[in-house]
């Protein structure tokens, strides 16, 4: 276990260093390429209820995706992380203005306030068709290296218990986030697909 933890920590450091060398312009360019690939993806087109993350600086920018979802009339859910545990809920947002009004967390990302109980939680209602997932690194076997808190792995376990079952999962990645092999254990849930800019 300790060896696995150490391997994950080492890889996290290496991937953070790698992504830090990518310019903002290049991140923007790759984010648009990934967004366009997603817009024509059959799973995205057919999904009505989608969870998406609000991106941090070292992640594929999801702003165009959120705009498209709202424009197409899809139901958009975003994470609310509990900083003291590995619990996360996916709560519905209604517009870009709605998102802009949300409070900022210590990680500098917006999320609904803890006492905001007016929003629909995806699993308390109709479940999800698709979850767009962030991460630090991915391999070609679709294993994912997260930030170590287990938010998404735990949430996907909860999804399995929903009558709708586990939604399709697509990770959004910069090509710099692909690695040979992500070290995993039994708790790590593989992703259905990783979307990134293919090398031509």
3-state secondary structure of 49: strand
Half-sphere exposure (Cβ direction) of 128: Cα atoms closer than 13 Å: 31
| Spatial distance between the Cα atoms of 80 and 33, rounded to a whole number of angstroms | 27
Residue ranges of the annotated binding site for ATP are 8-12, 144-152
DSSP 130-162: EEEE--SEE-TT--EE--SS-HHHHHHHHHHTS
CA distance 167 to 66: 18
Phi, psi (deg, nearest 5) at residue 39? -60, -30
**Tokens representing residue 11 in the block:** 């890889």
Residue positions forming the annotated binding site: 8-12, 54, 59, 144-152
Binding site residues for substrate, as ranges?
54, 59
Q: Which secondary-structure segment (H or E) carries 90?
A: strand 88-93
């Amino acid at each position: 276990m300790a060896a696995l933890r150490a391997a994950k920590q080492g890889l996290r450091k290496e991937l953070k260093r790698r992504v830090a060398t990518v310019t903002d312009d290049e991140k923007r360019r790759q984010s648009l390429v990934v967004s366009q690939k997603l817009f024509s993806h059959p799973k995205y087109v057919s999904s009505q209820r989608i969870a998406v993350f609000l991106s941090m600086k070292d992640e594929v920018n999801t702003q165009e995706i959120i705009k498209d979802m709202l424009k197409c009339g899809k139901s958009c859910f975003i994470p609310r992380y509990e900083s003291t545990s590995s619990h996360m809920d996916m709560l519905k947002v209604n517009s870009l203005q709605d998102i802009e009004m949300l409070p900022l967390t210590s990680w500098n990302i917006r999320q609904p306030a803890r006492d905001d109980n007016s929003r629909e939680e995806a699993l308390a209602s109709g479940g999800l068709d698709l979850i767009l997932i962030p991460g630090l690194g991915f391999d070609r076997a679709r294993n994912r290296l997260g930030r170590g808190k287990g938010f998404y792995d735990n949430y996907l376990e909860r999804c399995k218990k929903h009558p709708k079952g586990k939604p399709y999962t697509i990770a959004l990645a910069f090509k710099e986030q692909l690695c040979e092999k992500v070290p995993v254990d039994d708790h790590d849930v593989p992703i259905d697909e990783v979307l990134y800019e293919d090398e031509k």
